[in-house]
């Protein structure tokens, strides 16, 4: 049997519909272990560089989800900043999150993922929006007060039509006066100075453009202008799911890969530390995942760096073991 065969615990489970459309922020919020990497810009080309190793820190899903506000409508979204610590000014990620997608994904993982069986999701209606009853009462009172007053719909329609006709007539009279007064003079000036009129038209077109008609260089603009505009609003929620927790080891924590990437492993099976009849090295395992016909791993940059650093750590530990075997326990002078 080949080492990379499906029968050797290398198969992949189908991703449920609740987990397919999650963005990077939503995936981090439902992960029980978050992979962090210190990314800094280079001085000349301003390209990003990873300094140090990628570390996996346990995340407190229940506390994070309970701290987020509940939304009434499923179409509403909220802006969230992911930080290492809440006291930091900078952030790791900044994206919009759909509350309904987040809750549906957690409920689905609680059903099929063995590592999420003990996760408690508090999503009661009263907890989601405690002021919902008060708003309903206010709406009912407003409706009652409106119903108490007697209004005649015919009178309202007549008043509305009269106001519209008056506005239309005043606008037409003003346009006619402007044309009659300035029409002859404008035509005479246009015939005397045609070049000046062309320059004024060009200046008018340039002034209608943003920034006085000058094109902005792309390197001076942010990559996502929408996210940049959202950053100036006050309705931004900051979360630090891994604050206060220590990083865990890659090879000493069972099912770490399934907890860090629940979208890729919805059932938590067939990970790197799975018991197999034919042993598979980390480099061979990650090559099979990244070059698989299913591109769920190749599309995730976090998984790519995770695989790189796990492979490097495994190679370093293997070489250290070989050096210890070749070394001597005593020196030449007997110490």
Across the range 148-154, mean pLDDT stands at 54
Across the range 168-195, mean pLDDT stands at 52
Residue 60 lies in a domain: yes
Helix 282-290 / helix 301-326 crossing angle, nearest 10 deg: 160
Minimum mean pLDDT among 44-53, 117-126, 152-161, 292-301: which range? 152-161
The rounded radius of gyration (Å) of the Cα atoms in the chain is 32
Write the CB contacts of 11 (distance below 8 Å, at least 6 apart in sequence): 270
Residue 148 pLDDT: 42
Calpha distance 307→250 (Å, rounded): 11
Confidence of residue 43 (pLDDT cuts 50, 70, 90): confident
**Cβ pair 237, 69 in contact under 8 A:** yes
Residue 58 lies in a domain: yes
Across the range 286-291, mean pLDDT stands at 93
Domain count along the chain:
1
Reading the block at residue 156, the tokens are: 């309202």
Reading the block at residue 63, the tokens are: 């506390």
Residue 212 lies in a domain: no
Across the range 275-301, mean pLDDT stands at 91
- Distances, alpha carbon 124 to alpha carbons 47, 116, 140, 276, in Å: 46, 19, 24, 42
Residue by residue, DSSP assigns 188-223 as HHHHH-HHHHHHHHHHHHHHHSGGGGPPPPGGGS-S
Residue 2 pLDDT: 86
Dihedral angle, C-alpha 93, 98, 103, 109, nearest 10 °: -60
Residue 243 pLDDT: 86
For residues 139 and 296, the model is more confident at: 296
Calpha distance 259→266 (Å, rounded): 9
Residue 64 lies in a domain: yes
End-to-end alpha carbon distance in the chain:
50
Helix H or strand E encompassing 245: none
Could you tell me the residue range of the domain that residue 233 belongs to?
6-130+225-325
Calpha distance 57→36 (Å, rounded): 8
- pTM of structure: 0.64
Residue 119 pLDDT: 86
- Distances, alpha carbon 186 to alpha carbons 98, 182, 201, 203, in Å: 57, 6, 14, 18
Exposure string for 125-157, b = 16+ CB within 10 A, e = fewer? eeeeeeeeeeeeeeeeeeeeeeeeeeeeeeeee
Residue 18 lies in a domain: yes
210: pLDDT strictly greater than 80: no
Residue 319 lies in a domain: yes
Residue 49 lies in a domain: yes
Beta-strand ranges (E) seen in 1-122 are 33-41, 48-58, 77-82, 93-98
Residue 168 lies in a domain: no
Across the range 201-207, mean pLDDT stands at 50
Confidence of residue 125 (pLDDT cuts 50, 70, 90): low
Helix 194-208 / helix 153-192 crossing angle, nearest 10 deg: 140
261: pLDDT strictly greater than 90: yes
Confidence of residue 287 (pLDDT cuts 50, 70, 90): very high
Reading the block at residue 3, the tokens are: 């080492």
214: pLDDT strictly greater than 60: no
pLDDT in tens, 69-116: 777 677 778 888 888 888 888 887 888 888 888 888 999 999 999 999
Question: Which among 23-37, 64-78, 160-174 has the top mean pLDDT?
Answer: 23-37
Residue 19 pLDDT: 92
């Amino acid at each position: 049997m080949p080492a990379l065969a499906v029968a050797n615990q290398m198969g992949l489970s189908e991703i449920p519909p609740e987990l397919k459309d999650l963005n990077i922020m939503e995936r981090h919020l439902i992960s029980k272990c978050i992979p962090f990497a210190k990314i800094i810009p280079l001085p000349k080309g301003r390209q990003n560089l990873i300094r140090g190793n990628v570390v996996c820190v346990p995340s407190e899903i229940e506390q994070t989800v309970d701290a987020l506000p509940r939304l009434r409508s499923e179409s509403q979204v909220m802006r969230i900043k992911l930080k290492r610590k809440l006291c930091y000014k900078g952030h790791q990620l900044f994206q919009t999150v759909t509350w309904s997608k987040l809750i549906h994904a957690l409920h689905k993982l609680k059903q099929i993922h063995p590592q999420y069986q003990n996760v408690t999701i508090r999503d009661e209606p009263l907890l989601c929006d405690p002021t919902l009853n008060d708003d309903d009462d206010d709406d009912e009172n407003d409706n009652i007060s409106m119903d108490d007053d007697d209004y005649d719909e015919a009178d309202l329609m007549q008043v509305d039509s009269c106001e519209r006709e008056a506005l239309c007539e005043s606008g037409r009279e003003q346009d006619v006066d402007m044309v009659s007064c300035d029409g002859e003079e404008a035509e005479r000036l246009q015939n005397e100075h045609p070049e000046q009129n062309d320059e004024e038209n060009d200046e008018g077109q340039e002034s209608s453009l943003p920034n006085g008609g000058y094109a902005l260089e792309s390197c001076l603009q942010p990559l996502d202008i929408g996210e940049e505009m959202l950053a100036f609003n006050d309705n931004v929620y900051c979360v630090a799911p891994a604050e206060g927790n220590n990083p865990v080891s890659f090879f000493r924590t069972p099912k770490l890969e399934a907890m860090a990437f629940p979208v890729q492993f919805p059932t938590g099976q067939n990970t790197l530390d799975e018991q197999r009849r034919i042993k598979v090295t980390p480099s061979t395992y990650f090559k099979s995942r990244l070059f698989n016909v299913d591109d769920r791993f190749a599309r995730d940059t976090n998984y790519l760096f995770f695989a790189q650093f796990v492979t490097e750590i495994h190679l370093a530990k293997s070489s250290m073991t070989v050096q210890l075997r070749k070394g001597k326990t005593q020196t030449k002078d007997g110490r």
